[in-house]
Amino acid sequence: MTMEQEAPPVVELAGVRKEYPGGVVALAGVDLTIRRGELVAIVGPSGSGKSTLLHIIGSLDRPSAGMVRIAGHEVAGLSDRELSALRAQHLGFVFQSFHLAAGVSALDNVADGLLYGGQPLRARRRRAAAVLDRVGLADRTSHRPHELSGGQKQRVAIARAIIGEPALLLADEPTGALDTASGAAVLALLRDLNAAGATIAVITHDNEIAAALPRRIRLRDGVVVADSRTPMKAGAV
């Protein structure tokens, strides 16, 4: 048994169903476990349910039925305020469109990832500088979003998402707005972060991106139709 298998799961879903008004079923009974230290692709075409699954795992929405446990917390018994605290303490989000504050430096965009922690600004900026260095942007701390390339914006967004050392990083189409080279660099960064211990789920419609990750969970019509893994070769990076 590996260390990942021995560690408590970061994500546990059992029989998760999500139905919207009008009888639209987005998830039709999903069972899923993501363990600490995994790098997972959640892949499927438009309408497969992957965005809904992202919202359920990210505690942005509640299931119609089934059990959801995130970082050891069963969400069914949590109030909206407690769910917000769960997201702030245990989850990091990266989106296709970056969601950086315009006119705000990269340093302060990243430091804002610690706003809910109650740390003073100086401490947050010191931590942000260290994380920007970790993602290769030590020389861009004072740059504002309009002064950064798409790839650099996504690195800032990743730095903001990981500054609080979340139990799970959820990356929703993180290369969707990037050119091929920048997208490859962002995926390489995610692999590096995973190698350093981060648990990451990448939500994508791109089969090529999914194929490059060690575990692939395929959704279609609201159900998991495949869950495959690529054995890591000795010495692989």
DSSP structure string for 43-68: E--TTSSHHHHHHHHTTSS--SEEEE
pLDDT higher than 90, residue 79: yes
pLDDT higher than 50, residue 4: no
**Is 82 inside a domain boundary?**
yes
177-190, pLDDT tens digit by residue?
A: 999 999 999 999 99
What's the domain count of the chain? 1
Q: Give the model's confidence band at 116: pLDDT under 50 very low, under 70 low, under 90 confident, else very high.
A: confident
pLDDT higher than 90, residue 3: no
pLDDT higher than 50, residue 192: yes
Q: Give the model's confidence band at 230: pLDDT under 50 very low, under 70 low, under 90 confident, else very high.
A: confident
Beta strands in the chain (DSSP E): 9-20, 24-35, 39-43, 65-70, 73-74, 91-95, 168-172, 200-204, 215-220, 223-229
pLDDT at 232: 56
Provide the whole-model pTM: 0.91
Instruction: Output the CA–CA distances (angstroms, integers) from residue 61 to 14, 64, 83, 106, 202, in the order listed.
Output: 16, 10, 10, 29, 18
pLDDT at 7: 67
**Is 157 inside a domain boundary?**
no
| C-alpha to C-alpha distance for 201 and 165, rounded to whole angstroms | 15
**Is 128 inside a domain boundary?**
no
Range with the poorest average pLDDT among 7-11, 51-55, 119-123, 171-175: 7-11
**Is 133 inside a domain boundary?**
no
CATH of the domain at 10: 3.40.50.300
* Short-list 54, 59, 60, CA closest to 27: 54
Q: Which residues contact 67 (CB under 8 A, 6 or more apart)?
A: 12, 13, 14, 15, 16, 74, 76
**Is 76 inside a domain boundary?**
yes
**Is 222 inside a domain boundary?**
yes
pLDDT higher than 70, residue 200: yes
Q: Give the model's confidence band at 6: pLDDT under 50 very low, under 70 low, under 90 confident, else very high.
A: low
Q: Residue 112 carries which DSSP code? A: G
* Short-list 16, 3, 55, 51, CA closest to 199: 3
What integer best gives the mean pLDDT of the chain? 92
| Domain, as residue range, for 174 | 3-103+166-229
**Is 136 inside a domain boundary?**
no
- Are 170 and 203 contacting, i.e. CB atoms less than 8 angstroms apart? yes
* Short-list 65, 32, 27, CA closest to 48: 27
